[in-house]
Amino acid sequence: MTTAWTADCVRKLDVARIPRIPIIEEKAPTTLEAGRVYWDMWPIQDQDGFIASIQERELWMALTAPDRGDPGLRHFEAKIRLIERKAGNWFDLGDVLPDFRVDYEREWAGSAVTDGEGVSLYFTAAGTDQRSGGYQQRLVEAHAIIGSNGLPEAWTAPRASISEFTPEYMLANAHEGEAGKIKAFRDPAYFRDPADGHEYLIFTASLAGSGSDYNGAVGIARRTDIGWKLLPPLIHADGVNNELERAHVVYHKGSYYAFWVTQRSTFAPDLNHAPNGLYGMVSDGLFGEYRPLNGSGLVVANPEEEPLQSYSWFVTRELVVSSFVDFCGLKGKPLPTNPDEANKRFGGVPAPLLNLTIDGDRCELAETVEA
C-alpha cells in the first residue's frame, strides 16, 4: 500500500523544538582536489546496508564538478567521483566511470553496493546528449569487479534499470525546468529486504494523476528474473511537498525506516514553516503502513541561524549520516542573489558525519562521528 505523508503530519512540527545539527563554523581545509566542488555523497555499502570495508578501504562516491564560481552551475556538469575516507580525511581517487559513449549529459546521485567480488552502481542519468542543460532523468546502472588494490575496475557500460513504466509515476522527461520545481525519477538507492532476500531500488519520484504541483513520492522497484519491476510508491506527499530527495530505506531492529531530504522551498505554501532537513517514516513491513518519525516526519534540521549549511543527508545501516556543506556562515542573513557573493558562502565539501539514535518511532541526533 502507499502511505501518505500528510499536511496534518507537517503541521505537528513544533518550530521551537526542532532538533538542530551543530553549526559548521567555517569551510574547513580539505584534502580533496582543489578547484572542484563535492556534494550528494554515498558510501559503497554491503548488501545489508552497512558501510563496506573493501580490502580494508572505506570507499565513497560523490557528485563533483569544476568550481565555476557559481554554485548553481555544478548541476549541469555533475560527474560521480570515487573518494576514500581514511583517518577522518577524504581523498579524491578520480572519476568512477570511464568515458563511455552514452545518450545522457551528466551523472546525478544514486547508491553503490558490493557483494565482496564486484560493485554495482545505481545512479541518475540526467539530461540528454542531444541538447545541453535538460532536466530529463532516468535510473541507470553499471557494474564492476574489485581489483587487487580494492578499487572497482572493468566497468560495464551504463544501461537503463527501468524499461517498463507504470501509471503511478510521472516521467521526468521535460527538458525545461527550474530547481525545486522539476519532477523526479532519480536517486536510486539499493535495498535488500532481510525478511526474504528480495532486492529493491528505492528512488525519488513524482506521483502521477495529482491535481497539485506538490506531488513528491518515494518510489520502489523490485528485481525480478527479467529486470527491475516498478511497484506502487511506498510514500507520497501529494499536496504537501514537490521533492522527497535521496529517498532510501534502512532496516533497524525489525522495522523499516524510509528517509528522504527536502527543502523549505519545495513545501506547499501553507507548510513552508518546515525547514530544510532529513525526514522519515517507519513501518513494521517494507510495504507499509508507514508512520511519521517523531510525529511530524522531521528527524534533524540545520540550525536556525544557518538554515542552508548542509544538505543531502544519507543514512546507513549503522545510522551514520553523511551530507555536504552547502551555504554556511550566513549568520541569519539571506543567501546573496549575486552568484559571486553566494559562492563565497558555498562549501562544496563533505560535512561532518553524524549519528542517529532510533527507538521505535523516535529518531534523534546523536554525537558527531569523530573518525
In this prediction, residues 177-199 reach a mean pLDDT of: 96
Grid coordinates representing 371? 573518525
Q: Which of 233, 234, 232, 229 is nearest to 163 (CA)?
A: 229
Q: Is the pLDDT of residue 261 over 90?
A: yes
pTM of the complete model: 0.97
| Pairing, β 58-66 against β 36-46 | antiparallel
In this prediction, residues 133-159 reach a mean pLDDT of: 98
Share of the chain above pLDDT 70, in %: 98
In this prediction, residues 276-293 reach a mean pLDDT of: 97
In this prediction, residues 23-30 reach a mean pLDDT of: 74
Confidence of residue 26 (pLDDT cuts 50, 70, 90): low
pLDDT at site 274: 96
pLDDT at site 15: 82
| Pairing, β 137-146 against β 3-4 | unpaired
* Distance (Å, whole) CA 281 – CA 192: 18
* Distance (Å, whole) CA 169 – CA 70: 33
Q: Is the pLDDT of residue 190 over 60?
A: yes
Confidence of residue 173 (pLDDT cuts 50, 70, 90): very high
pLDDT, tens digit, for every residue of 45-85? 999 999 999 999 999 999 999 999 999 999 999 999 999 99
Rounded (5°) CA angle 127-128-129: 135
When the pLDDT of each residue in the chain is averaged and rounded to a whole number, the result is: 95
pLDDT at site 30: 76
pLDDT at site 289: 96
Burial class (CB in 10 A: 0-12, 13-18, 19+), 108: buried
pLDDT at site 28: 62
Q: Is the pLDDT of residue 14 over 90?
A: no
In the chain, the amino acid numbered 137 is: Q
Share of the chain above pLDDT 90, in %: 91
Q: Is the pLDDT of residue 370 over 60?
A: no
Q: Is the pLDDT of residue 27 over 70?
A: no
pLDDT at site 186: 98
Task: Tell me the CATH number of domain 3-12+31-368, given options 2.115.10.20, 2.10.60.10, 2.40.30.60, 3.30.70.3040.
Answer: 2.115.10.20
Place of cell 528512488: 203
Which H helix or E strand runs over 325?
strand 320-325
* Distance (Å, whole) CA 198 – CA 16: 41
Please enumerate, as own/partner, the contacts of 339-342 that have beta carbons within 8 Å and a separation of 24 or more. 339/69, 339/70, 339/71, 339/72, 340/69, 340/70, 342/70, 342/71
Which H helix or E strand runs over 222?
strand 216-224
Give the phi and the psi of residue 67 in degrees, each rounded to 5.
Answer: -75, 110
In the chain, the amino acid numbered 362 is: R
Confidence of residue 273 (pLDDT cuts 50, 70, 90): very high
Q: Is the pLDDT of residue 208 over 80?
A: yes
* Distance (Å, whole) CA 371 – CA 366: 15
| Biggest CA pair distance of the chain | 55
Contact, 233 vs 175, CB < 8 A?
A: no
* Distance (Å, whole) CA 218 – CA 216: 7
Q: Is the pLDDT of residue 291 over 80?
A: yes
pLDDT, tens digit, for every residue of 91-142? 999 999 999 999 999 999 999 999 999 999 999 999 999 999 999 999 999 9
Is the bond preceding 289 in cis, omega lying within 30 degrees of 0? yes
Please report which residue ranges of 112-164 form alpha helices under DSSP H: none
pLDDT at site 1: 85
pLDDT at site 332: 85
